[in-house]
Amino acid sequence: MGICDNNDRFGRREAIKRIGSFVAGAAAAPMLSRMPWANADPPGGKPNVIVMVADDLGYGDVGCFGSPDISTPNLDAMAAQGVRFAQSYVAVSVCSPARASILTGKYPRRTSMPDLAVSNDPESGLSPSDVTLAEVLKKEGYATGAFGKWHLGYAPKFRPRKQGFDEFYGYLSGWADYETHSYSGSQGSNEKWMFKNDVQFDEPGYMTDLLAREARSFIDRHQSHPFFLYLPWNAPHGPHVAPDGTRAETRAVYQAIMSNFDYNIGQVLQKLTDYSIANNTFVIFISDNGADGVGSNYPLTGTKRTVYEGGVRTPFIAKWPAQITAGRVSQEPIISMDIFNTVAKACGAKIPAGAGVDGKDILNVMKGTASSPHEYLFFNFGNKYAVRRGKWKLIENTGLYDLDANPYETIDLRSSQPTINQELQYKLTQFKEDYGRRGGYSVDAG
């Protein structure tokens, strides 16, 4: 899919409406809040936490973010019960480093995971010295479980149970076939990296359904005790296979995957209502990067593996009825590292020295009582860099853009705004020097 994809479906006038607050989503809040799982319960004690990470989900592929051809009633209802961020970012527009930023609260270049984890490198992975959110919450007595795509290292020392998770069910690789669970990586075309805890295994089933089953089981077993459920979904990453077995890189198959995905999100959230713990469960949903292929980032420019908005701006929804007013849409810029700090502080956890140094606590931003705490946001993919301050975004050696007036990043203002261009270029140079890490990317899929 090319830059500023799907222009045949919409005009620019419609696009500028969609990229803003998308007020229809907020207007639908009363109706959507009546989804079965949306029932509230009395608050109390430490919150449970669920962090869901979609895989390659585009900005234009969620109903409440303006998708015209994909229905996501459960995600839409979640947004109606909480807050949707129209300008949420990931630090790097590819799988492993984006996930590292979520779990550590650091720019990936600060961690041991600045690029993709590869299966043929025993030293490729998120170092045990990089403190994860699971480790922080586990010290506070939380039960911790990860179910889905790990992709933060293949060697035993990098696996989830070495990173603070009590339980793991899923796969270590960059993706797994929806039906066969195999992976084409650096070691061959039929690798299998499915694990249950520390044991390699496999079982039949559609991957998204299996992950939802395990997540529901985790809630069943820990509903009476504070828990942290990390749910890095497989969907809608390719190769694309519909629940009925149809294999094709088409929009129709992608739509079927998304329908199943949204259904399974609803099934997990329903468990919170079943146990009357929805009111005091903090649920966050984000994608690890923008879409490519048959996915859509419309109306944004660019795709996964770019630093254009379509690569780094992703859907973000947060729901915590005890704390967050329902039906809010925020235009404040936030970034993936903020999840670490926000969740840790919401749970009363102490953040160790040196951990979470780039993330910010954005709970008050979610509530609408504070502005974004970030003056600058930095993005990269490989050796391509970008920085944002306020409405201004500079893509190095490419262009300076006013995102308020031109969110499509089509009008380069470097010549007309030399002072801003110079300031942002200086900040990018500082970022590269202060966060210096290797910048090359592997050939493994992510």
* 143-149 β-sheet, strand order: 199-200, 194-196, 167-171, 143-149, 227-232, 48-54, 281-287, 316-319, 83-85, 328-330
What SS3 string covers 408-431? Answer: CCCCCCCCCCHHHHHHHHHHHHHH
- Crossing angle of the two packed helices 73-81 and 251-274, in degrees rounded to 10: 50
The pair of structure tokens assigned to 95 is: 């799988």
Query: Exposed/middle/buried for 314, CB within 10 Å: 0-12, 13-18, 19+?
Result: buried
- Catalytic (active site) residue 151: yes
Q: Are strands 392-395 and 399-402 parallel, antiparallel or unpaired?
A: antiparallel
- Beta strand spans in 240-280 (E): none
Contacts of residue 437, Cβ cutoff 8 Å, sequence gap at least 6: 108, 109, 110, 114
Q: Are strands 377-381 and 328-330 parallel, antiparallel or unpaired?
A: unpaired
> Of residues 4, 64, 95, 347, which has the active-site annotation?
95
Is the preceding peptide bond at 299 cis, omega within 30 degrees of 0?
yes
> Of residues 4, 151, 222, 374, which has the active-site annotation?
151
Q: Which residues does residue 89 pair with via DSSP β-bridges, in sequence order?
A: 313, 335
Rg (CA), the chain: 20
- Crossing angle of the two packed helices 338-346 and 95-104, in degrees rounded to 10: 30
- Catalytic (active site) residue 225: no
> What residues are annotated to the active site?
95, 151
